[in-house]
Amino acid sequence: MTQYALAHAADGTAADLAEQCAAQLRDAADHTLGFLYVTDPLAADLDAIVATLKARTSVQNWVGTVGIGICATANEYFERPAIAALTGQFADDEFRLIPPIDDPDAIRLASFTDFAAAMGVVHVDPRNPQASELVASFANNNAVYLVGGLTSAQTTFAQIAGGITEGGLSGVQIGGRRQVTFGLTQGCSPIGAPHAITGVEGNILATLDGRPALEVLYEEAGIKPGEDPRPGLANVFVALLVDGSNIGDYLVRHLVSIDPSQGLVGITDDASETSQLMFVRRDADNADKDLHRMLDDIEGRVGVPPKAGLFFSCVARGPHLFSEPAHEMKAIQERFGDIPIAGFFGSGEVCSDRVYAYTGVLTLFH
């Protein structure tokens, strides 16, 4: 028997792909927990896929969600019918499913602290306006390190937490006996130094380091006075620095508006005058360098070789960033071998107590 097992299949009906995956899991007779990811064309069939896997395998506890793209060891599947499943041998007291939660107040009122969790794997509905608060509230109220992602779909934003759900946060907590290593790789790199936010109202930046925010943005993006700014800003974003961290940890947010008459910049998150930010650019070369930096860092920290993993990447990465097919998954395979890994490409990535964008989050089980 094996401690972890991987199944993946593509380009068929939901029923056929589910049966193929079940057959690939024939050596997982004593496995108890499964992570399941399906691409958007199979979203409406998710309930039936779970039912087949429960009937054909020993795994009765499944968590997962839908992605525009999903991944498995050395493979990525985008915008085509596909399933990826990772199963593991977990003792009954080593994990606990997280039921669907759609309100941060419900997390504070309900206690999950009676289970000693080392980590949690969560999936979050991006349509919930409190998605970031759900992640932060669950992580901080329960003192648990979270990984996961926000569902990416065209129509059905389904999640699996025992049964099928949507609308909030769900997943699984995993107990502290399992050794785990985490890594985060950024997809956007700085184009200038960090700036103090010296004037802001909500999500509207007025001044940075005492200068008009738009003036600073134009300067770093290389936009000259009188130029059409749109081409120069096409791949430029704002990165809010995580308090107490260096520039290696930041939350990328979109630019949503500029006001040349007043020098204002609007972003997709509220900011504070106690915070710092940078302007960053998304490009494949720097994303690849940071991917290998993450793999170097993880390799330097792992005590024993990993046995399996989960990978959560941004839907704007994969083939939308890298020219080589399955670029990220092949890099992970080259570093750690043919270990079973599954995951999906989401509308945001969860790491610790925060929701990131344009990143990749790797979790390795030892």
Q: Which of 102, 123, 127 is nearest to 46 (CA)?
A: 123
CA distances, 222 to each of 45, 231, 253 (Å): 48, 11, 20
What 3-state DSSP class applies to 317? coil
pTM, full prediction: 0.94
Instruction: Name the residue among 347, 290, 345 with its Cα closest to residue 135.
Output: 347
pLDDT at 27: 85
**Residue 151: closest CA among 233, 84, 220, 65:** 65
Q: Please tell me the predicted confidence (pLDDT) of residue 246.
A: 53
Residues 312 and 76: their CA atoms lie apart, in Å, by 12
What pLDDT sits at residue 245? 63
Q: Please check whether residue 282 is in contact with residue 235, taking contact to mean a CB–CB distance below 8 angstroms.
A: yes
Our CA angle for 129, 124, 7, nearest 5°, is: 160
Distance between CA atoms of residues 107 and 185, nearest Å: 29
Q: What residue ranges of the chain have pLDDT lower than 70?
A: 1, 109-113, 244-248
In Å, how far are 54, 224, 239, 260, 263 from 210, measured between CA atoms?
60, 20, 18, 17, 12
Distance, in Å, from the CA atom of 296 to the CA atom of 304, rounded to the nearest integer, reads: 15
Q: How crowded is residue 261: how many other Cβ atoms within 10 Å of its Cβ?
A: 7
d(Cα 44, Cα 81) in Å, to the nearest integer? 11
Q: Closest by alpha carbon to 83, among 60, 58, 49?
A: 49
Orientation of helix 284-301 relative to helix 327-336, angle to 10°: 30
What is the pLDDT at residue 248? 66
Distance CA 192, CA 218 (A): 11
Alpha-helix residue ranges (DSSP H) falling in the chain: 14-24, 46-56, 104-109, 131-141, 213-221, 229-232, 284-301, 327-336
